[in-house]
Amino acid sequence: MAARDVKPGDSLDPLLVRQDFPLLRDAPLAQGLHYLDNAATTHKPQVVIDAISDCYGGFYGPIHRGLYPLAEEASGRYELARERLATFLGAASADELVFTRSATEAINMVAWGWARERLQPGDRIWVSRMEHHANYLPWQRICRDRGAELRIIELHENGSLDLAGSPELFAPQTRLIALCQVSNVLGVENPLRELCATARAHDIPVMVDAAQGVSHLPLDVCELGCDFLACSAHKMYGPGGIGLLYGRAERLQEMAPLLLGGGMVDEVGEGTAESTWTQTPARFEAGSPNLAGAVAFAAAADYLEGLDRHRVQAHLTMLTTAAAGALAEVPGLRLLPLAETPRSAILSFTLDAVHPHDLAQVAGEQGVAIRAGHHCAQPLMRSLGLVATARASFGVYNRMDDVAALVRAVDSARRLFS
C-alpha cells in the first residue's frame, strides 16, 4: 500500500511515506540519517523522479517551437503541468503562473519588472523583520535606486508581526507589501488573509513569499487575495531548479519582462525600434523552458495532494510541538521566538556556550541533519542580537524517532562542550 492510498481521516504514517522516497529508503548515505533540514530542501518521492525520467525517456522536445508531433506533445505536457499547478495554488487561470528558476527569481522578477518603475522618491515598500534575504535584498536595491524607503514591520516577542507598531503600513506612500507566508527561521505563520484584505481595500499590492509554507499549508491564491506569490518546487518534494511566480492577471499585464530572448517576443524591432512582447505568461519565460522540471513539479503537487496537506500539516505540527517540548527541557537551550507561539514545521534554537555550528556538527556526526547559521535572515538575527541559530525543520517522512534523535544529539553537544 502506498502512503497515498490511506483513507481520509487517517493520520499520516511516516513509515509508509518513507517508502516513497528512494534516497531515504535505500541510499547508503541515508542509513541512520535523521533528515531535519527540510526548510533548506526536501527529498524527492519516486513519482517525482519517475516524472523526470519519463519526460526525457518518453516525450521530451522543444516547447512552443516545433510543428511535429513530438514537439506538440512536449508543449502540451508543459502547459498541462502549468494547469495542474494552477489548480494546486487555486489560481483563476493557468495564464497567471510563470515558471521561473526559483522563488528567488520570481521575487526579483516582480521587483525589477513591476515595482521598480512604479517607485518615486519618498514612496515606500514594506517588508517584515523575518524576511529571507530573497524577499529583502531585491526590495532594498530598488528602493536605494529610486530614492524610496524600505520600511520594516517589526515583530512581537512571540514572532508575530507588530502591525500596531507600523501605523503607516497602509499609508498612501506604500507601493507594495512583501511578506513571507512562514518564517524560515522562526516557523511562525503570518496572517496573510487579513493583511491582503486590508491592503486590497487601500489598493496596495501584496507579494507573498510562500517558499516555506507551500509544502504543508493549504494555499489558495484567490482566497488569500494576494497580487503576487512565489514558491519553489524543491522545498515541496519537487525537483531542483524550478519555481513559480503567480501574478494576478492584471498585475502580470502591468509587469515588464526581466529576461528578453527567444519565445517571449512577437515582433522584433529593426535597430532600436521597439519590439513587441508576446502574451503572458510566455512573455516572462524567455529561453527554452524546463520541461522535465515542470512535469516533475506537477507530479510533486499530485503527490502532496495525495497525502492531503491538512494531514501533512497535522503531522508536522505534532512533530514540531513534540520537539519543542522535549528541547525546552535541555538545560541552557532557548527556543526562538522566546515567547510561546504556534510554529509551522520549523524550530530555531540556541544552546548556551555552544556555537550553533558546533551544535550542528556534533548532531551531524550522530546522523542528525540540522542547519546552523543565519539562515539568510541577517536582519532578523541582528534584531535578536544573534549571529546564528541551529534549526530543525520537519518533512512528511519524519517521525518521532527523528525527534528523539535530535534531542539526544543536542544533549550530547551540551555535555561535550560543558
Any idea which residues carry the catalytic annotation?
A: 376
Q: Give the amino acid at 49.
A: I
Asked if residue 361 binds another protein (CB under 8 A), the reply is: yes
Closest CA to 157 of 332, 335, 317, 328: 335
Which residues, listed in sequence order, are joined to residue 373 by a DSSP beta bridge? 389
In sequence order, the 6+-apart residues with CB closer than 8 A to the CB of 148 are 119, 120, 121, 122, 123, 124, 125, 142, 175
- Taking CB under 8 A as the binding criterion, the range among 37-45, 122-130, 329-337, 360-368 that sits at the site for another protein is 360-368
Q: How far is the CB of 295 from another protein (least distance, A)?
A: 34
Residue whose CB is less far from another protein, 302 or 358:
358
Q: How far is the CB of 365 from another protein (least distance, A)?
A: 6
Q: How far is the CB of 378 from another protein (least distance, A)?
A: 8
From the number of C-beta atoms within 10 Å of its C-beta (0-12, 13-18, 19+), residue 80 rates as middle
Asked if residue 358 binds another protein (CB under 8 A), the reply is: yes
- Taking CB under 8 A as the binding criterion, the range among 27-35, 66-74, 336-344, 365-373 that sits at the site for another protein is 365-373
Taking only Cα atoms into account, the Rg of the chain, rounded to an integer number of angstroms, comes to 22
Q: How far is the CB of 154 from another protein (least distance, A)?
A: 22
Determine the 3-state secondary structure of 71 from DSSP.
helix
Q: How far is the CB of 375 from another protein (least distance, A)?
A: 11
227-246 residues near another protein, rule: CB under 8 A: none
Asked if residue 192 binds another protein (CB under 8 A), the reply is: no
Where in 41-155 does DSSP place strands (E)?
A: 97-100, 124-128, 149-153
Closest CA to 43 of 323, 395, 406: 395
Residue whose CB is less far from another protein, 47 or 362:
362
Asked if residue 64 binds another protein (CB under 8 A), the reply is: no
Residue whose CB is less far from another protein, 200 or 374:
374
Residue whose CB is less far from another protein, 170 or 417:
417
- Taking CB under 8 A as the binding criterion, the range among 154-162, 225-233, 245-253, 371-379 that sits at the site for another protein is 371-379
Q: How far apart are the first and last CA of the chain?
A: 47
Asked if residue 362 binds another protein (CB under 8 A), the reply is: yes
Calpha distance 116→175 (Å, rounded): 10
Calpha distance 105→100 (Å, rounded): 6
Calpha distance 335→328 (Å, rounded): 7
Asked if residue 365 binds another protein (CB under 8 A), the reply is: yes
In sequence order, the 6+-apart residues with CB closer than 8 A to the CB of 202 are 170, 174
Residue whose CB is less far from another protein, 193 or 382:
382
298-327 residues near another protein, rule: CB under 8 A: none
Q: How far is the CB of 361 from another protein (least distance, A)?
A: 6
Residue whose CB is less far from another protein, 14 or 356:
356
Asked if residue 417 binds another protein (CB under 8 A), the reply is: yes
Asked if residue 373 binds another protein (CB under 8 A), the reply is: yes
- Options 191, 222, 357, 401; binder of another protein; rule CB under 8 A: 357
In sequence order, the 6+-apart residues with CB closer than 8 A to the CB of 275 are 265, 266, 267, 268, 269
Q: How far is the CB of 81 from another protein (least distance, A)?
A: 36
Closest CA to 186 of 383, 402, 411, 318: 383
- Options 355, 383, 404, 411; binder of another protein; rule CB under 8 A: 355
Query: 75 is written with which cell numbers?
Result: 508543449
In sequence order, the 6+-apart residues with CB closer than 8 A to the CB of 122 are 147, 148, 149, 173
Task: Tell how many helices (H) and how many strands (E) occur in the chain.
Answer: 14, 15
**Whose grid coordinates read 546522523?**
367
Provide the mask over 115-154, with x wherever binding to another protein is found by CB under 8 A and - wherever it is not: ----------------------------------------
Residue whose CB is less far from another protein, 369 or 388:
388
Q: How far is the CB of 348 from another protein (least distance, A)?
A: 15
**Bond before 281 cis per omega within 30 degrees:** yes
- Taking CB under 8 A as the binding criterion, the range among 120-128, 277-285, 370-378, 402-410 that sits at the site for another protein is 370-378
Size of the site for another protein (CB under 8 A): 16
Q: Which residues bind another protein (CB under 8 A)?
A: 355-358, 361-362, 365, 372-374, 378, 386-388, 416-417
